[in-house]
């Protein structure tokens, strides 16, 4: 199967998005998140069909189906939910100096040669002929080298020869070949023999002299008896040299024909210079040697071997193919037995050295058969018995058997050897069964050789792609073989069939190491990927890989950015970000994600590219993606937009091209406005990128933001201050310092700058609009007024109104042509970001505020519970700041109990602060290390320079979306994970258990009178919420201080305890379980609307935050009475509170799906999602009314009733009745009555239970068993059947379990599948669990 097909079939689900929506025959199409084909239209396993609703309500009557409803959808289990961590993200991204640079061949070294043959006994012509032959043989291996022959030389001639060779070679390697046949053996000191001047006697030449003339790098070949003596002497010299001098190690390579005690073979079977023959004519030598040992020895004329047709460099001839197979076999042997760095040095850095070492392996095989052992330095392990020689012998035999026919008929068609096909098959078998833990595939060097052949190339690349997909370890192995130059060269081919697989291979290499971006740009490789990205005939996932490759090429590489921009990459990316037809379905999310990331990397820190992007209308195109369903796409779009913002904006300093700057500024403001709108996105991944992009804006527009922020706190009159009850008490009446003095010189401006200032008592508040349309920058604001005294340089709100003296001068020459309302909006948004429920994002928000001089002071927080006792948060500020907790500032828009302040230098004499909690600071230096302090305090940046300093840039939070996204490509893309099989098996087992438990509880009496466990949670504020886990005897409980505790009720042992968050603003609304049939997640909803979802919460200390967001999105009116519910199959989370709307979140997309107006005047006090029908939910109101909504119908509201009339107490609990009937609901009001309604029939209840007298506090409806339970503040729990029969009554008199009495009931919760009921008490913090009497 071609990799293109593999990728088409496997990569469809490889992106981080969910499968495309399937049409569902419902009122409106709903996303089908299911992973099982048997999921019905509303999802879930069941037998009976859902009635088709005609208008969302009417349907044929049918009996509730007895079959259980088990949702099939998983949410929040994507890679992005593993946590947002800069260090982890950086690790996921490509490394800067990784494996490619480690294994990449350096600029290939070339070897020059000099050759000596002191063959004194031979006639001169024979001597010359031998010399010339050897010269020609070497020339074939390295044709461009310079060769010098020296026949029967003297010492002076050798010296001159060596010096000449080194002079010409410069820093290249010199080859010295000594053919010492017919002369004495080397001396014991390692000296070789040469002639004296008169050719009358031999003179010993010390190897040390030779080495000093030839220098390094060098390679020596010694073909003589006892050559090992020379090697030994050489190594002693190397050891002595390395110990006596600190210079770099000498780069010498030695090849010697035999060991010190051995003599060269004298057999007629071998030539006299058998070692040299093996090194220079390996194919003929190997065939002669093999022929004498094979069955062909009788039938084949040996002289034919010298007539093998073809050329060694032409693989389509017999000689060329034999040479190619020999290279593949020897490379494979070497790669499998040598350490990879030594293999790289000997077989990949220098063509001639590689050829000599391949041939040396043959010499070892042949000469060991004659009891002679060639040796080398570096020392190689024995390879003469490696099993790959068998493959060579077989290939040789096949070639030799064809030889007579080819010589007899030169025109006969050449049939290629099956060697490479067979080796590729062996590699494919390994791929089917191999893994990182097993022995590496020994055929890898052969696969590399096969890339040279057009006929085998495609198959080899596909197999190589499959291998690289196995993980970084596989990429490392392939690079160690030497794949890099081959795949780089292949980018110059125009073969269409290779495009997909080449893009895939480069994706795998670059996901590991980006250091080869330089090579790609130098060789023009970027153009290959731009063409592929622009082609519509490739799969979108594959084009996403091309975008990834291009993003890596330009990542932090200015030359790459320049060449890609000149090649038109910006236009290509923007074109593919827009569907050709507006009605078309949007492109594959992975492609959109990487097009955005590629653009972001193109623009990153490159002002000229940013300008080009703005001119290309990029913001308008990218902004459309901010509403895409996939969080990864939205985050990548934010990344791209953020990189369009110029941090060191030149327009601050004025300039000639004012109109261009104004145009650019307007575009930037437009980008920021769009980013502010998505600052409350449901995904931390997106919000994190928004916060980082806005921090860039804070740096680029630092002065103006400081100015506007200063105006926020500038007191206008004394009377205004006195109107603040919490502040008037503190201000000192005798203080001579008047706030009015600040307004000297800038009082006219105060009317233009409308700060968003909310002041007032608890009941009333005055507000001022913050949108301004006049220019904001005038010298008097930032620098104070010339005639004002020293104290007027400091406003009491703590903003420095004058640059420090060392800077001098004015920094602006003109005003910003912008609506400064964007600055007001920015500051209020960043204050909300600084309190984000996701800790990393809150930290980024605090950093951004510190850049514009705003400091967060965490206040001591006091809340009074119903009992009147005060509980303090952990963080506290000095007592003098305490009044701020009650005062309402502009910051209260985003709700919170910390104040925001400016830092200023000290004033002399010290003045009193009019606004408390706003701190003065001495230091003017910026201290980045303070960024991580718990309060997030940082010194301000008060400087006249417009461009950001290094200190500022160093604290800029790093974006993680790019590195994090790179991790996708380093994981296997072509194979499914084994984890899925385990998860499916576990899920099937749980489904079986659930169905079994459900059928039992549906048949049981449901009289839960037996207390099986009682747990003293020791919560200070009583138990606010409790939850029974479905498949383990575990109960989770939480209190209003947002302490979450996990307890095993079988063993009566605590399992885990943790805080939902560390902020001072506390209060819990509800606990819910997500993915209960799989790896369950715990949703903890705080009463301020923040939702945090945890995994591993049943492991001691192992809890990990999966995601967090504000479910009421800044609806300040929501108060502290958030109500929330969850529907697993649709993935919808419903949230509301003291507000007129209900927010519907899609947790799969982590996106606000819709905001439904409740059309009621009163607050929503209870919410319940239908588990049977996706999109249906019921809401109970504070005025005792009940409404049912359907998110799929245009008007949303499908039912309304006042079942509790004439009573008007709020609805405490509401729920859809157990079973499969989606039209029956139960509603309980605080007055104590429980009403049963059938929404198809009438607005009147068909059954009323007077459960409690005016004190009902909790209602629980079992999901499957036909029971409901209610609890009261008067220490009583009652369980009723759906017919109104009271099954159980638990009161404090009856239930004295283990000496404990139940308290006022705060919460009730049924087990999802069993007849178990958990009750949490408000006053004594007990959690009691009740079961039927026969419970085991």
Per-residue model confidence as pLDDT tens digits over 303-331? 788 888 888 888 888 899 999 999 999 99
State the Cα–Cα distance between residues 330 and 654, nearest whole angstrom: 68
Burial class of residue 206, CB neighbours in 10 A (0-12, 13-18, 19+):
middle
Q: Are 634 and 624 in contact (CB under 8 A)?
A: no
Residue 1065 has pLDDT above 50, yes or no: yes
DSSP category for residue 350: B
The model's pLDDT over 197-232, given as tens digits with 9 standing for 90+, comes to 877 788 888 888 888 898 888 999 999 999 999 999
Burial class of residue 1315, CB neighbours in 10 A (0-12, 13-18, 19+):
buried
Q: What is the mean pLDDT of residues 108-131?
A: 51
Among the residue ranges 670-674, 915-919, 1113-1117, 1285-1289, the one predicted with the least confidence is 915-919
Q: What is the mean pLDDT of residues 827-835?
A: 92
* SS3 label, residue 1269: strand
Residue 1024 has pLDDT above 50, yes or no: yes
Q: What is the mean pLDDT of residues 775-785?
A: 32
State the Cα–Cα distance between residues 195 and 203, nearest whole angstrom: 6
Residue 660 has pLDDT above 60, yes or no: yes
Check residue 111 and give its pLDDT.
62
With cut-offs at 50, 70 and 90, classify the pLDDT of residue 1046: very high
Question: What's the length of the chain?
Answer: 1336
Residue 962 has pLDDT above 90, yes or no: yes
> What is 1029-1062 written as a DSSP string?
-SSSSEEEEEETT-EEEEEETTTTEEEEEEES--
The model's pLDDT over 61-88, given as tens digits with 9 standing for 90+, comes to 444 444 556 888 888 888 888 877 666 6
Check residue 5 and give its pLDDT.
53
Going by C-alpha positions, the residue among 196, 195, 187, 183 that lies closest to residue 224 is 183
Per the listing, tokens 């031999």 go with 202
Handedness of CA 331, 335, 338, 341 (dihedral sign): positive
Residue 532 has pLDDT above 60, yes or no: yes
With cut-offs at 50, 70 and 90, classify the pLDDT of residue 687: very high
Check residue 75 and give its pLDDT.
86
Check residue 563 and give its pLDDT.
96
Q: What is the mean pLDDT of residues 1077-1082?
A: 93
Check residue 584 and give its pLDDT.
65
Residue 940 has pLDDT above 60, yes or no: no
Q: Are 931 and 938 in contact (CB under 8 A)?
A: yes
DSSP category for residue 860: P
Q: What is the mean pLDDT of residues 1080-1085?
A: 96
What angle do helix axes 607-615 and 558-566 make, rounded to 10 degrees?
A: 30
Among the residue ranges 565-574, 659-668, 1226-1235, the one predicted with the least confidence is 659-668
Q: What is the mean pLDDT of residues 1134-1139?
A: 90
CA dist list (Å): 9 to 4, 13, 160, 432, 976:
9, 9, 68, 18, 11
The model's pLDDT over 1182-1208, given as tens digits with 9 standing for 90+, comes to 999 999 999 988 888 999 999 998 888
Check residue 936 and give its pLDDT.
35
Q: Are 244 and 216 in contact (CB under 8 A)?
A: no
Q: Are 1187 and 1174 in contact (CB under 8 A)?
A: no
Check residue 658 and give its pLDDT.
62
With cut-offs at 50, 70 and 90, classify the pLDDT of residue 133: low
Beta sheet of 1197-1201, edge-to-edge order: 1164-1169, 1176-1181, 1186-1190, 1197-1201
Residue 1047 has pLDDT above 50, yes or no: yes
With cut-offs at 50, 70 and 90, classify the pLDDT of residue 1162: confident
State the Cα–Cα distance between residues 591 and 851, nearest whole angstrom: 35
Q: Could you give the count of Cα atoms lying within 13 Å of 451 in the half-sphere of its Cβ?
A: 26
List the structure tokens of 434.
Answer: 């191999």
Residue 607 has pLDDT above 60, yes or no: yes
Q: Are 30 and 24 in contact (CB under 8 A)?
A: yes
Residue 727 has pLDDT above 70, yes or no: no
Check residue 1193 and give its pLDDT.
86
**Chain Cα centroid distance, residue 995:** 38
Check residue 410 and give its pLDDT.
80
Q: Are 1136 and 1179 in contact (CB under 8 A)?
A: yes
Q: What is the mean pLDDT of residues 921-947?
A: 34
Percent of the chain with pLDDT over 90: 44
Residue 426 has pLDDT above 90, yes or no: yes
State the Cα–Cα distance between residues 643 and 639, nearest whole angstrom: 6
The model's pLDDT over 344-385, given as tens digits with 9 standing for 90+, comes to 999 998 888 999 999 999 999 999 998 999 999 999 999 999
List the structure tokens of 575.
Answer: 């074109």
Q: Quote the mean pLDDT of the chain.
A: 77
The whole model's pTM is what? 0.79
Question: Comparing 595 with 792, which gets the higher pLDDT?
Answer: 595
Q: What is the mean pLDDT of residues 801-816?
A: 34
Check residue 980 and give its pLDDT.
78
> What is 32-80 written as a DSSP string?
---SSTT--TT-S--SSPPPPPSSSS-----PPP-S--------S-SGG
The model's pLDDT over 155-187, given as tens digits with 9 standing for 90+, comes to 888 899 899 888 888 888 899 998 888 788 999
Among the residue ranges 455-464, 833-842, 1143-1152, 1156-1165, the one predicted with the least confidence is 1156-1165
Phi, psi of 40 (to 5 degrees): -80, 180
Residue 550 has pLDDT above 50, yes or no: yes
Q: Are 103 and 976 in contact (CB under 8 A)?
A: no
The model's pLDDT over 236-287, given as tens digits with 9 standing for 90+, comes to 887 776 555 444 457 889 999 999 999 998 887 788 889 999 999 999 999 9
């Amino acid at each position: 199967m071609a990799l293109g097909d593999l990728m088409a079939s496997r990569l469809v689900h490889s992106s981080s998005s969910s499968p495309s929506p399937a049409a569902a025959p419902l009122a409106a199409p709903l996303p089908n998140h299911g992973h099982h084909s048997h999921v019905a239209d509303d999802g879930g396993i069941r037998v009976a069909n859902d009635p088709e609703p005609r208008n969302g309500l009417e349907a044929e009557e049918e009996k509730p189906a007895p079959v259980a409803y088990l949702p099939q959808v998983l949410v929040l289990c994507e890679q992005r939910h593993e946590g947002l961590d800069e260090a982890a993200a950086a690790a996921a991204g490509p490394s800067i100096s990784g494996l490619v640079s480690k294994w990449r061949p350096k600029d290939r070294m070339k070897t020059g040669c000099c050759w000596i043959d002191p063959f004194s006994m031979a006639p001169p012509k024979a001597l010359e002929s031998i010399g010339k032959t050897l010269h020609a043989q070497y020339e074939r291996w390295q044709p461009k080298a310079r060769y010098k022959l020296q026949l029967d030389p003297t010492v002076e001639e050798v010296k001159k020869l060596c010096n000449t060779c080194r002079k010409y070679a410069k820093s290249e390697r010199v080859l010295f070949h000594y053919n010492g046949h017919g002369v004495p053996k080397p001396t014991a000191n390692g000296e070789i023999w040469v002639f004296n001047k008169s050719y009358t006697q031999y003179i010993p030449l010390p190897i040390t002299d030779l080495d000093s003339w030839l220098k390094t790098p060098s390679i020596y070949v010694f073909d003589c008896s006892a050559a090992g003596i020379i090697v030994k002497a050489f190594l002693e010299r190397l050891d002595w040299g390395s110990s006596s001098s600190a210079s770099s190690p000498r780069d010498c390579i030695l090849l010697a024909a035999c060991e010190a005690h051995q003599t060269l073979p004298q057999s007629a079977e071998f030539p006299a210079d058998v070692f040299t023959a093996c090194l220079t004519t390996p194919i003929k030598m190997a065939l002669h040697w093999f022929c004498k040992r094979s069955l062909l020895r009788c039938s084949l004329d040996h002289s034919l071997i010298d007539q093998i047709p073809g050329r060694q460099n032409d693989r389509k001839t017999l000689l060329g193919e034999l040479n190619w197979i020999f290279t593949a076999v020897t490379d494979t042997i070497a790669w499998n037995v040598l350490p990879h760095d030594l293999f790289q040095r000997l077989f990949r850095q220098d063509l001639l050295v590689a050829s000599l070492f391949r041939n040396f392996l043959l010499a070892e095989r042949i000469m060991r058969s004659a009891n002679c052992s060639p040796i080398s330095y570096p020392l190689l392990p024995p390879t003469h018995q490696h099993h790959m020689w068998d493959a060579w012998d077989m290939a040789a035999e096949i070639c030799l058997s064809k030889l007579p026919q080819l010589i007899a008929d030169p025109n006969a068609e050449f049939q290629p050897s099956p060697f490479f096909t067979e080796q590729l098959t062996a590699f494919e078998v390994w791929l089917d069964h191999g893994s990182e833990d097993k022995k590496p595939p020994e055929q890898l060097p052969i696969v590399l050789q096969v890339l040279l052949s057009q006929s085998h190339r495609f198959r080899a690349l596909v197999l190589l792609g499959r291998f690289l997909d196995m993980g970084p370890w596989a990429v490392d192995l392939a690079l160690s073989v030497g794949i890099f130059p081959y795949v780089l060269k292949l980018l110059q081919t125009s073969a269409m069939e290779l495009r997909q697989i080449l893009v895939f291979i480069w994706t795998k290499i670059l996901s590991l190491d980006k250091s080869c971006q330089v090579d790609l740009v130098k060789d023009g490789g970027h153009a290959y990927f731009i063409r592929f990205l622009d082609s519509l005939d490739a799969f979108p996932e594959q084009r996403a890989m091309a975008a990834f490759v291009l993003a890596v090429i330009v990542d932090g590489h200015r030359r790459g950015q320049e060449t890609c921009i000149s090649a038109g990459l910006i236009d290509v990316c923007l074109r593919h970000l827009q569907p050709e037809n507006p009605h078309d379905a949007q492109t594959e999310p992975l492609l959109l994600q990487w097009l955005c990331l590629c653009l972001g990397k193109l623009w990153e820190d490159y002002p000229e590219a940013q300008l080009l992007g703005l001119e290309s209308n990029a913001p308008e195109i990218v902004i459309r993606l901010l509403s895409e369903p996939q969080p990864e796409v939205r985050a990548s779009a934010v990344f791209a937009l953020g990189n369009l913002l110029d941090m060191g904006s030149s327009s601050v300093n004025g300039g000639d091209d004012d109109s261009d700057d104004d145009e650019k500024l307007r575009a930037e403001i437009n980008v920021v406005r769009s980013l502010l709108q998505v600052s409350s996105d449901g995904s931390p991944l997106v919000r994190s990128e928004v916060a980082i992009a806005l921090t860039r804006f804070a740096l680029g527009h630092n002065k103006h933001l400081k100015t506007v922020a200063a105006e926020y706190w500038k007191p206008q009159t004394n009377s205004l201050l006195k109107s603040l009850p919490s502040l008037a008490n503190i201000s000192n009446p005798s203080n001579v310092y008047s706030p009015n003095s600040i307004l000297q010189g800038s009082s006219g401006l105060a009317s233009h700058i409308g700060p968003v200032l909310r002041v007032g008592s608890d009941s009333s508040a005055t507000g001022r609009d913050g949108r301004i349309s006049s220019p904001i920058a005038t010298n008097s604001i930032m620098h104070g007024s010339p005639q004002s005294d020293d104290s007027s340089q400091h406003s009491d709100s703590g903003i420095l109104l004058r640059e420090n003296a060392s800077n001098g001068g004015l920094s602006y020459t003109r005003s910003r042509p912008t609506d400064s309302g964007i600055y007001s909006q920015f500051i209020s948004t960043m204050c909300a970001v600084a309190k984000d429920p996701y800790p990393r994002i809150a930290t980024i928000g605090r950093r951004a505020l510190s850049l514009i001089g705003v400091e967060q002071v965490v206040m001591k927080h006091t809340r009074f519970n119903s009992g009147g006792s005060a509980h303090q948060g952990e963080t506290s500020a000095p007592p003098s700041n305490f009044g701020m907790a009650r005062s309402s500032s502009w910051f209260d828009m985003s709700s919170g109990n910390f104040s925001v302040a400016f830092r200023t230098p000290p004033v002399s004499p010290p003045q009193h602060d009019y606004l408390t909690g706003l701190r003065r600071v001495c230091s003017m230096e910026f201290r980045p290390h303070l960024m991580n302090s718990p309060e997030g305090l940082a010194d301000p940046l008060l400087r006249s320079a417009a461009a950001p300093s290094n200190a500022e840039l160093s604290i800029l939070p790093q974006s993680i979306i790019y590195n994090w996204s790179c991790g996708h490509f380093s994981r296997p893309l072509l194979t499914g994970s084994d984890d899925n099989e385990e998860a499916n098996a576990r899920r099937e087992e749980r489904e079986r258990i659930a169905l079994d438990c459900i059928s039992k509880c549906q048949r049981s009496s449901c009289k839960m009178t037996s207390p099986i466990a009682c747990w003293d949670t020791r919560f200070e504020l009583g138990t606010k919420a409790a939850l029974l886990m479905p498949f383990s005897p575990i109960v989770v409980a939480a209190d209003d201080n947002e302490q979450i505790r996990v307890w095993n009720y079988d063993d009566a042992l605590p399992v885990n305890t943790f805080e939902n968050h560390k902020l001072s603003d506390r209060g819990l609304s509800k606990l819910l379980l997500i993915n209960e049939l799989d790896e369950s997640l715990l949703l903890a909803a705080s009463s301020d609307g923040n939702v945090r979802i945890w995994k591993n919460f049943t492991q001691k200390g192992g809890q990990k935050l999966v995601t967090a967001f504000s479910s009421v999105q800044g609806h300040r009116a929501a108060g502290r009475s958030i109500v929330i519910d969850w529907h697993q199959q649709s993935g919808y989370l419903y949230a509301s509170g003291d507000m007129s709307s209900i927010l519907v979140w899609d947790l799969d997309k982590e996106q606000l799906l819709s905001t439904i107006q409740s059309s009621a005047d009163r607050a929503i006090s209870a919410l319940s999602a239908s588990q049977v029908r996706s999109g249906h939910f019921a809401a109970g109101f504070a005025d005792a009314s009940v409404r049912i909504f359907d998110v799929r119908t245009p008007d949303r509201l499908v039912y309304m009733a006042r079942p509790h009339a004439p009573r008007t107490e709020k609805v405490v609990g509401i729920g859809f009745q157990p079973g499969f009937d989606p039209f029956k609901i139960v509603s309980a009001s605080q007055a104590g009555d429980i009403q049963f309604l059938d929404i198809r029939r009438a607005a009147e209840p068909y059954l009323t239970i007077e459960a409690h007298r005016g004190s009902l506090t909790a209602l629980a409806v079992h999901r499957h068993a036909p029971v409901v339970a209610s609890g009261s503040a008067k220490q009583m729990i009652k369980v009723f059947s759906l017919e109104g029969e009271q099954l159980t009554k638990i009161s404090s008199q009856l239930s004295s379990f283990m000496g404990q009495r139940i308290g006022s009931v705060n919460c009730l919760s049924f087990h999802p599948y069993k007849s178990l009921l958990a009750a949490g008490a408000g006053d004594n913090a007990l959690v009691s669990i009740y079961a039927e009497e026969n419970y085991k």
